[in-house]
C-alpha cells in the first residue's frame, strides 16, 4: 500500500479563528455547531477566510462476491442498473448534486457488468466484483493497492480543479456486509451489534446474514489472527469501499474537507482512520442513518453527525443533504459583520 503524509491540523491558527468567531455580531457561541464547523474548516485550510469552492462528489460502483450468499434483499444487477440510471441523471444523488452545486463523477471500479460504453461513467474497473469472502479474501494484494491508487488519483483530479470539499458515495449491493465486519473488527464490537437490515431484510433475512458473516469472520480469524487493519480491509472490502479509502486519505493529504455519508462511508472513514489517525481531523460527518450499528460506529469515532433524518439510501445522499450546514458555517465567518465594524455594543 502506498504511504500518505497526513498531518494533524496545525492548531497555531486556532486562537485567531476563535477570536474572529467570538467577535461576530452575535452572542458568543449562539450559532452552536456552525461555529465549530467554521473553526474546523479554517484549520483545515489554514485561513481566516475559508472557501468551499468547486465541491465534488465521487459515486463509486462495485459488486460483492458475498452477495451470492443471499445477504441482501436486492440482487446484484441493481448495481449496474442504478449506475446507468445515475448516468442519465435520474438518481437521488443526481438530484442533490444539482441542488447543491456539486460536480458529480460516476466511477465504475468493480461493477459486474460492462459499463465501458456508457456515457458519463468513468471506467476504472479493477475486476467484475470481489470474490466471496465466505471462502477467502475478497481481493488480492494487487487489487487492494490498485483500489487505493484509484481513489487517490480521483481525489487528485478533484483538487486539481480547485475542489476544497470532497463528498463520496457508493453503489454496491451487499456492501453493508463488509461494513459490518469492518465495524466489528476495527471497533472490537460483537458482530451481532454491527449487523442490520441493509436495504430491507426481514427478520429471517437478518438471521441468515448474521450466520453467513459469523462464518466468514471465523475463517478470517483462523487465517489472519493478528487482526491487522490492512488485512481486515482487504479480506472483506469492496472495490468501491477501498477506492473510497484511497480518496479520503489523499484528500486529507491535500487538505480538503471530507464530507462523510452513511453506514458504508462511515465504515470507510473508520478504516481510513485506523490506517492514518490524522485523517479524522479532515472529516465532517453528514448524518446518522437508520442502519443498525451506524450510531455505535460514529460514537467509536467520537463523531457527531450533522443530521438525523432516518436515511439509508447510500449514494452519498446524506452527506449532500448536510452540505448546506457546512456552507452556512463558511458564510457565517466570511459574511457576518463584527461588533466593531457594525458599531454594536458587545452583549455577551
Catalytic machinery residues: 315
DSSP-assigned states of every residue in 261-274:
-SHHHHHHHHHHHH
In angstroms, the CA 92 to CA 28 distance is: 38
Continuous segment of H or E residues that includes residue 109: strand 103-110
Give me the sheet containing 283-285, strands edge to edge: 121-123, 103-110, 56-62, 165-171, 257-260, 283-285
C-alpha cell at 45: 485550510
Contact 138, 182 (CB under 8 A): no
The DSSP element (H or E) to which 319 belongs, if any, is helix 317-335
302, containing H or E segment: none
Measured CA to CA, the distance from residue 308 to residue 137 in angstroms comes to 34
Extract the C-alpha cell encoding 269. Answer: 472513514
Q: What are phi and psi of 15, to 5 degrees?
A: -60, -40
Separation CA 140–CA 341 (nearest Å): 61
Q: Which residues contact 301 (CB under 8 A, 6 or more apart)?
A: 266, 269, 270, 273, 280, 285
Partner residues linked to 158 by β-bridges: none
Amino acid at each position: 500500500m502506498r504511504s500518505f503524509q497526513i498531518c494533524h491540523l496545525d492548531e497555531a491558527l486556532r486562537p485567531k479563528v476563535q477570536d474572529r468567531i467570538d467577535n461576530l455580531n452575535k452572542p458568543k457561541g449562539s450559532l452552536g455547531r456552525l461555529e465549530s464547523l467554521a473553526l474546523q474548516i479554517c484549520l483545515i485550510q489554514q485561513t481566516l477566510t475559508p472557501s468551499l469552492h468547486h465541491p465534488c462528489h465521487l459515486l463509486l460502483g462495485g459488486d460483492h462476491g458475498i452477495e451470492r450468499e443471499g445477504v441482501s434483499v436486492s440482487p446484484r444487477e441493481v448495481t449496474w442498473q442504478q449506475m446507468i440510471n445515475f448516468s442519465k441523471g435520474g438518481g437521488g444523488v443526481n438530484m442533490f448534486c444539482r441542488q447543491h452545486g456539486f460536480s458529480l463523477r460516476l466511477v465504475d471500479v468493480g461493477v459486474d457488468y460492462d459499463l465501458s460504453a456508457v456515457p458519463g461513467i468513468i471506467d476504472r474497473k479493477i475486476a467484475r466484483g470481489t470474490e466471496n469472502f465466505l471462502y477467502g479474501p475478497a481481493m488480492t494484494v494487487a487489487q487492494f493497492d490498485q483500489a487505493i491508487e484509484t481513489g487517490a488519483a480521483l481525489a487528485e483530479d478533484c483538487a486539481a480543479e480547485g475542489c476544497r470539499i470532497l463528498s463520496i458515495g457508493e453503489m454496491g449491493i451487499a456492501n453493508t456486509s463488509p461494513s459490518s465486519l469492518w465495524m466489528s473488527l476495527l471497533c472490537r464490537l460483537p458482530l451481532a451489534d454491527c449487523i442490520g437490515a441493509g436495504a430491507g431484510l426481514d427478520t429471517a433475512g437478518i438471521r441468515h446474514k448474521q450466520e453467513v458473516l459469523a462464518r466468514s469472520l471465523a475463517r478470517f480469524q483462523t487465517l489472519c489472527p493478528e487482526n491487522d487493519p490492512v488485512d481486515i480491509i482487504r479480506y472483506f472490502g469492496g472495490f468501491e469501499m477501498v477506492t473510497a479509502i484511497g480518496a479520503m486519505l489523499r484528500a486529507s493529504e491535500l487538505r480538503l474537507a471530507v464530507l462523510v455519508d452513511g453506514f458504508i462511508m462511515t465504515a470507510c472513514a473508520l478504516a481510513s482512520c485506523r490506517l492514518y489517525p490524522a485523517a479524522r481531523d479532515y472529516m465532517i460527518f453528514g448524518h446518522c442513518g437508520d442502519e443498525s450499528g451506524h450510531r455505535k460506529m460514529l460514537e467509536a469515532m467520537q463523531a457527531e453527525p450533522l443530521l438525523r433524518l432516518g436515511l439509508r439510501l447510500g449514494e452519498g445522499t446524506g452527506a449532500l443533504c448536510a452540505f448546506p450546514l457546512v456552507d452556512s458555517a463558511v458564510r457565517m465567518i466570511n459574511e457576518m459583520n463584527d461588533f466593531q465594524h457594525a458599531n454594536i455594543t458587545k452583549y455577551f
